[in-house]
């Protein structure tokens, strides 16, 4: 898209040369002209005027406000300690917050004086706020420049760069020069009608104004255009890939719904489906009649009933003469699915088998035979399923549970098991925020089960501190006396003294005193056990021979024990939100009221506190996922590393969700009306698709 001139090595830019080029490469990763052009300011300083408090909004750059201090106080303790002050002008109140240097700043602030506040404005609870503003008494020397300066960009630089004259100002100068000299090489990459429709800056204007904005309005327009462009390019590529896949892979057509499905639906299904389950089945049904391969992601909270949807889809495949398989990430989970499905279908209905690392040679031999002659209809297992020895007669439908543990490559190996690739349904119980799903799985179709089966009592969640453990023991006894069972989960297995984690072994010791034999029995499960030992301990709990299961996170997925009504999570502050939510989902599966008790240390980080509060506040996995995304950013969420979202420079998945939705719809619309981008007005998109070096690494995506 950009002309090759912009790919010119940076040393050839006037004023750079070999030495400076070296430092630019090492310190900022700037190798060519285009890289420099995309080295955007990280903030802007507006000393041109004073803003009124009521004008303040989060879109503004760094601004200054003239206000009278009315109040100051130190709040919180230890980790949460902060200085909060209020200041007013004739239009409103602004809150000022400092988390560092509290004592010193507090001393210098004088109530009743007028100050110049300078900082990035934010909103908190609907009120104007500045965190860590620069603050000076009004009328001192520094303020004399007011009125002479425009919006000043500030660029990231380093000590090393500064030695070579490349501080923020120096970089600004280089960029200015680059734009002036090569403005003709910056080519538009969006169709004109899109620019018009969404009132976007053209590309040159956007680059100019993000570096040299005349005012906040121009700056915001430039940023908007560049965000739009980033999302647009990402979606264009993803949706193009999706289209190519659909064209490339023919798909088996499941034309009928026959006796397997109907018999199950009418005579075996022990409950009625939720509307969400019905909707998803319909989506799968439509997909599998189109003649192209289905690649669908099924998202649904723990306990939302994904398994039965998967099973019923498999039955349709079987009705059409195909075999099916279900792949799970762990042996425990594979076992669980095997049991669940066997219970659902009953005896002599359809041939189901289990294949894991523990399957005996003899059993394998029979299994392989029945797979190849087509008698075996449903194969459930771990990644043992993708071994070369496993040959199907006619594999038509594949379910993969817990996607993020399998790579794309593994998915592809299942496709290869048939001439026409099987339809693929990926199930995940880790809800992903919608915007992230649109980028992370932008090339998959997405189905969501957003409704729990009726009659479920929401799990009650409670946060206790370590010294309240006795209360918890009392509660556990109460529940056990009612016939219920209890999980106690620990984050680590071997104690790391530094982290002062209660380890599982200690926990078991304490608990065996608190819950003595013969009245109480405890199962212990952790990662160091052999699969058979693990299964033995699990089985004791499943059969109700033990009342308490002490475990590390191995139970995170896969156990379904409706009689377990209490989930205790030790050192809950050490777990991530999605993991806490997964663990909690292990209870609340029966008709009884269930509970989740989060035990934590007294010392909680800000994020730790937010995590635990969130868990107490909501059971909704999608809500939890949103908060997780806000806390950790997209980079730490499984799968994002390959998704291209981390290369976004201007756009932000958390703050720009609306824009992303708008852009995705826009791109979908383009493909719907002009699948092959043949319209002259879309001509430009061919170039855009072909281009590299757009700041997004396409190779990583597909």
Query: Which tokens hold the place of 654?
Result: 């958390």
Residue where the block lists tokens 């925020």: 433
The nearer residue to ligand ADP, 242 or 581, going by C-beta atoms, is: 581
* All residues at 6 or more sequence positions from 518 whose CB lies less than 8 Å from its CB, including other chains: none
The nearer residue to ligand ADP, 94 or 333, going by C-beta atoms, is: 333
In the complex, least distance from residue 278 CB atom to ligand ADP, rounded to whole angstroms: 9
- Tell whether residue 273 is a contact of ligand ADP (CB under 6 A): yes
Q: State the number of CA atoms in the 13 A half-sphere of 350 facing the CB.
A: 30
Binding piece for ligand ADP, criterion CB under 6 A, among 25-33, 288-296, 301-309, 317-325: 301-309
Contact letters for ligand ADP, residues 322-341 (x by CB under 6 A): --------------------
Query: Which tokens hold the place of 547?
Result: 């009342």
Residue 149's Cα: distance from chain center in Å?
Answer: 42
Chain residue at closest Cβ approach to ligand ADP = 305
Angle at 536 between CA 380 and CA 487, to 5 degrees: 95
Number of residues that bind ligand ADP (CB under 6 A): 16
In the complex, least distance from residue 95 CB atom to ligand ADP, rounded to whole angstroms: 43
**Coil, helix or strand at residue 678:** coil
Contact letters for ligand ADP, residues 565-604 (x by CB under 6 A): ------------------------x---------------
The nearer residue to ligand ADP, 305 or 329, going by C-beta atoms, is: 305
Residues in the chain: 702
Among 242, 306, 411, 484, binds ligand ADP (CB under 6 A): 306
Among 32, 380, 429, 432, binds ligand ADP (CB under 6 A): 429
The Cα 296–Cα 293 span in angstroms is 10
Among 210, 308, 557, 561, binds ligand ADP (CB under 6 A): 308
The nearer residue to ligand ADP, 354 or 367, going by C-beta atoms, is: 354
The Cα 622–Cα 608 span in angstroms is 19
In the complex, least distance from residue 195 CB atom to ligand ADP, rounded to whole angstroms: 44
Integer CA distances (angstroms), 144 to 46, 66, 147, 497, 558, in order? 14, 14, 8, 57, 67
Integer CA distances (angstroms), 241 to 112, 131, 428, 698, 702, in order? 62, 43, 22, 11, 7
**Coil, helix or strand at residue 88:** strand
* All residues at 6 or more sequence positions from 517 whose CB lies less than 8 Å from its CB, including other chains: none
- Closest C-alpha to 645, from 418, 442, 398, 469: 442
In the complex, least distance from residue 343 CB atom to ligand ADP, rounded to whole angstroms: 9
Binding piece for ligand ADP, criterion CB under 6 A, among 91-99, 121-129, 298-306, 408-416: 298-306
- Tell whether residue 313 is a contact of ligand ADP (CB under 6 A): no
Sign of the C-alpha dihedral, residues 517, 523, 524, 530? positive
- Tell whether residue 277 is a contact of ligand ADP (CB under 6 A): yes
Among 92, 321, 374, 453, binds ligand ADP (CB under 6 A): 453
- Tell whether residue 303 is a contact of ligand ADP (CB under 6 A): yes
The nearer residue to ligand ADP, 303 or 491, going by C-beta atoms, is: 303
The nearer residue to ligand ADP, 303 or 639, going by C-beta atoms, is: 303
In eight-state DSSP terms, residue 97 is E
Q: What is the binding site for ligand ADP (CB under 6 A)?
A: 271, 273-274, 277, 300, 302-308, 429, 453, 560, 589
């Amino acid at each position: 898209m950009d002309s090759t001139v912009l790919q010119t090595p940076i040393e050839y830019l006037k004023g750079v040369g070999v030495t400076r080029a070296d430092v630019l490469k090492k310190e900022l990763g700037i190798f060519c002209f285009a890289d420099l052009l995309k080295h955007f300011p990280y903030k802007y300083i507006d000393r041109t005027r004073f803003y009124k408090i009521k004008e303040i909004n989060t879109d503004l750059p760094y601004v200054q406000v003239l206000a009278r201090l009315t109040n100051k106080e130190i709040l919180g303790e230890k980790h949460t300690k902060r200085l909060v002050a209020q200041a007013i002008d004739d239009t409103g109140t602004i809150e000022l917050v400092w988390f560092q240097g509290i004592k010193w700043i507090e001393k210098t602030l004088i109530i009743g004086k007028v100050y110049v506040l300078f900082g990035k404005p934010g909103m908190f609870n609907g009120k104007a706020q500045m965190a860590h503003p620069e603050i000076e008494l009004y009328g001192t020397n520094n303020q004399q420049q007011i009125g002479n300066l425009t919006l000043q960009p500030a660029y990231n630089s380093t000590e090393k760069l500064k030695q070579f004259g490349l501080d923020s100002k120096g970089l600004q100068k280089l960029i200015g020069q680059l734009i002036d000299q090569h403005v003709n090489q910056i080519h538009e990459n969006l169709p004109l009608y899109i620019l018009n429709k969404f009132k976007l800056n053209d590309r040159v204007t956007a680059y100019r104004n993000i570096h040299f904005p005349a005012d906040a309005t121009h700056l915001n327009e430039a940023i908007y255009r560049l965000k739009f462009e980033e999302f647009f390019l990402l979606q264009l590529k993803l949706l193009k890939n999706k289209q190519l896949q659909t064209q490339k892979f023919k798909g088996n057509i499941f034309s009928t719904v026959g006796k397997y499905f109907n018999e199950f639906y009418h005579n075996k299904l022990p409950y009625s489906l939720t509307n969400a389950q019905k909707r998803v089945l319909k989506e799968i049904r439509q997909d599998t009649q189109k003649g192209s391969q289905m690649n669908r992601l099924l998202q649904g909270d723990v306990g939302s009933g994904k398994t039965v949807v998967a099973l019923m889809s498999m039955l349709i495949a079987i009705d059409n003469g195909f075999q099916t398989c279900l792949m799970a990430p762990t042996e425990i989970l594979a076992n669980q699915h095997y049991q669940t499905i066997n219970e659902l279908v009953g005896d002599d209905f359809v041939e189901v088998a289990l294949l894991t690392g523990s399957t005996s040679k003899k059993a394998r031999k029979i299994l392989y035979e029945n797979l190849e002659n087509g008698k075996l209809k449903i194969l459930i297992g771990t990644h043992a399923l993708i071994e070369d020895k496993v040959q199907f007669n006619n594999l038509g439908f594949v379910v993969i549970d817990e996607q993020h543990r399998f790579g794309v490559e593994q998915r592809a190996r299942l496709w290869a098991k048939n001439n026409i690739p099987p339809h693929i349904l990926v199930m995940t119980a880790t809800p992903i925020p919608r915007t992230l799903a649109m980028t992370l799985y932008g090339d998959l179709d997405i189905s969501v089960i957003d409704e729990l089966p009726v009659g479920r009592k929401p799990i009650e969640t409670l946060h206790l501190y370590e010294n309240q453990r006795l209360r918890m023991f009392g509660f556990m006894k109460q529940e056990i006396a009612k016939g219920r069972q209890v999980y106690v989960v620990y984050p680590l297995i071997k104690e790391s003294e530094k982290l002062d984690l209660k380890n599982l072994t200690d926990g078991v010791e304490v608990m065996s005193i608190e819950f003595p034999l013969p009245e109480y029995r405890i199962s212990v499960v952790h990662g160091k056990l052999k699969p058979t030992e693990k299964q033995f301990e699990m089985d004791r709990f499943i059969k109700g021979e033990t009342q308490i299961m002490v475990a590390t996170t191995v139970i995170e997925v896969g156990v379904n024990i409706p009689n377990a009504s209490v989930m205790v999570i030790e050192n809950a502050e050490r777990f991530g939100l999605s993991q806490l939510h997964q663990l909690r989902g292990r209870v609340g599966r029966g008709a009884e009221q269930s509970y989740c008790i989060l035990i934590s240390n007294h010392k909680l980080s800000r994020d730790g506190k937010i995590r635990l509060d969130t868990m107490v506040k909501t059971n909704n996995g999608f809500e939890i996922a949103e908060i997780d995304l806000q806390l950790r950013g997209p980079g730490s969420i499984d799968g994002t590393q390959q998704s291209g979202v981390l290369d976004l420079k201007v756009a932000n998945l958390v703050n720009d969700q609306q824009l992303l939705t708008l852009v995705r719809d826009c791109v979908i619309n383009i493909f719907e009306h002009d699948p092959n981008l043949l319209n002259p007005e879309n001509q430009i998109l061919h170039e855009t698709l072909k281009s590299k070096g757009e700041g997004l690494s396409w190779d990583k995506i597909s």
